[in-house]
Amino acid sequence: MEKRKALLQWTSALLISSLLIVFGTDARLHQENPKSSSQKRSDIITIDTLKKFGRIDRPPVLFPHDLHQKAVEKTGKDCLTCHKETDKGLSLKFRRIQDVNKQKVMELYHTECIGCHIEKKATKDKSGPIVCAECHTSSPKYTAGQYPLPFDKSLHFRHVKAKEKNCEACHHEYNPLTKKLFYEKGKEGSCRYCHKEVTEENRISMRLASHTSCLECHRKTLSQKKKAGPIVCAGCHDLNQQARIERLENVPRYDRKQPDISLMKSGIEAEEKEVKTRMQPVLFNHVFHEKTNETCRICHHADLQSCVKCHTLSGAKEGKGLNLMQAIHHEKSDQSCIGCHNVSKKEKECAGCHSLMSKKAAEEATCLKCHINLPPGISPEKMSEEAYATMVLQARKPTKDTYKESDIPEKIIIKDMVNKYEEVNFPHRKIVKALSAGMNRSQLAKAFHRGGNTVCQGCHHNSPASKTPPRCGNCHGQPFNEKNPLMPGKMGAYHQQCIGCHTAMGITKPAECIDCHKERKN
């Protein structure tokens, strides 16, 4: 420390003169290369602490943490070089536990950081900047490029196994009376249910909570010469490093006493007001949805309670005014049933049909695919929920295939453009079989494509389901129907449907007209 003070005194004159130069050139430095590309790093920490004390005069410092951590480790030191230790672990602040005032925080950074850089330069080691504009710049060498780490069920189970099912190590609740954390078995939920994006009242932000708890656990485990997770930023926030994280394919089911199947109902509010919904309760296959999603938060975005707790029949403040029907049917939310299913429809194997089908055609009879009507005389009020749910599950008969092969034309000859090109041999059966195979690979399609003629509706979109649907020309005229300008003509309909399907499904061919239409030679 004495050596550092001596060096600081020795360079004070130099720094003062440098600062005078910097003040005169700083604005120019900020204007140079406004479009210069900075290197993205997953370990960039934005040092803008002085914002909490008011307006800051210079741009924040973009600090490459892993770069400094490696330099510290080379000298045989560790995290305590820059961070204070508390009873809860390392303080994430630089060489302090609390921010006292603006002047002290600023002096701490300048004394320690510049002093360390000067020491390194004195020993001719690679070092960082010692003048203001090289740290406080609008054109930094590095920019932030962190990617959130998905804490999926595979990663969760690895932690469960490592902690020998000691859930208390990570999960806790807050008692507002005692103002202390406690563990309640069976009430474990996502950290994000309490820890939000920013610190609120007595709850620290998700960023602070995860870095404090996770890093401290990893650090202590590594100190015991045991295998642990990363303690560098890139280990969690770099895409290449994330790809190296071992994934478990067969993850045991969460043990939260959750049902295998349940009924989505309007809840006790309807019973209190003697209100009866007109639709049958919807069976929800909980086991299936657990297998197809990486985290419970996909559906349980606020907590692990039933949807109706917040989304009541009439709407409540807890559910942001969205009632149960709106929450479940919200088309643009990936947390609703319909919204999530719409996302699945955009997958390549589904998009060929669903991207071209009109909304009206897609919605026909959709309600009854979830709200299944049971045979007359069977009333859910007179049955247990488990018995009713089982009966609805049995009533769902997934589609396995389409019509018999003999009922599907092998080829269809399209002669609508023979004045310029030869007739087109459309491989009808081959395409039907390819689409059917894709449906059979999708559990969602199996559940909702109830009829063998569903695959036909992708192309014959506005025709009644039939083994012998009408030809395209029965609806699409030549060139178009002047009474319905929005309906394309025959040529437009063919190209929109065929090329549109290929584009949505990522099929590269045909690339040119002659891939389908052979030119006439006469």
- Answer whether residue 16 shows pLDDT above 70: no
pLDDT for the residue numbered 294: 92
Distance separating alpha carbons of residues 158 and 146, to the nearest angstrom: 23
How confident is the model at residue 267, as a pLDDT? Answer: 61
DSSP secondary structure string for all residues of 423-490: PEEE-HHHHHHHHHHHHHH-HHHHHH--STTGGGGGTSTTS-S-SSPPPGGGTS-SS--TT-TTS--H
What is the tens place of the pLDDT at every residue in 83-130? 999 988 899 999 999 998 999 999 999 999 999 999 999 999 989 999
Q: How confident is the model at residue 359 (pLDDT cuts 50, 70, 90)?
A: low
- At 276 the pLDDT is 59
Q: Give tens-digit pLDDT for 28-77.
A: 333 333 344 578 999 999 999 999 999 998 999 999 999 999 999 999 99
* pTM for this model (two decimals): 0.78
Q: Which of 51, 45, 61 is nearest to 133 (CA)?
A: 61
pLDDT of residue 140: 92
Cβ neighbours of residue 147 under 8 Å, at least 6 residues apart? 42, 237, 238, 239, 242
**With the CA atoms of 66, 71, 73 and 75 taken in that order, what torsion angle do they form, in degrees rounded to the nearest 10?**
-170
Which residues is 89 bridged to in the sheet? 86
**For the chain, what is the mean pLDDT?**
84
Model confidence at 255, pLDDT cuts 50, 70, 90, reads confident
* Percentage above 90 pLDDT, the chain: 48
| Between residues 380 and 341, the one the model is more confident about | 341
Please tell me the predicted confidence (pLDDT) of residue 160: 94
DSSP designation for 391: H
Tokens of 199: 């610190």
**What's the confidence (pLDDT) of residue 518?**
84
CA count, 13 A, side-chain hemisphere, 447: 15
**Which phi and psi (to 5°) does residue 497 adopt?**
-75, -50
The whole-number pLDDT of residue 486 equals 81
Using an 8 Å Cβ cutoff, are 440 and 400 in contact?
A: yes
Residue 271 has pLDDT above 80, yes or no: no
Q: What is the pLDDT of residue 31?
A: 32
pLDDT at 452: 73
Mean pLDDT calculated for residue range 173-198: 92
Place 17 in a pLDDT band, splitting at 50, 70 and 90: very low
Q: How far is CA 375 from the centre of its chain?
A: 41
User: What does the pLDDT read at residue 9?
Assistant: 44
Which amino acid would we find at residue 123?
T
Residue 145 has pLDDT above 80, yes or no: yes
Query: What are the CA-CA distances from residue 504 to residues 276, 347, 383, 434, 455 (Å)?
Result: 42, 9, 45, 15, 16
Given this model, what pLDDT does residue 275 score? 53
User: What is the per-residue pLDDT for 72?
Assistant: 95
401 pLDDT band, cuts 50/70/90, is: low
- What structural domains does the chain harbor? 2-144 (3.90.10.10), 153-243 (3.90.10.10), 261-380 (3.90.10.10), 397-515 (3.90.10.10)
Query: Do the beta carbons of residue 45 and residue 58 sit within 8 Å?
Result: no
115-122 vs 2-10: helix axis angle to the nearest 10? 90
94-108, 224-238, 443-457: segment of lowest average pLDDT: 443-457
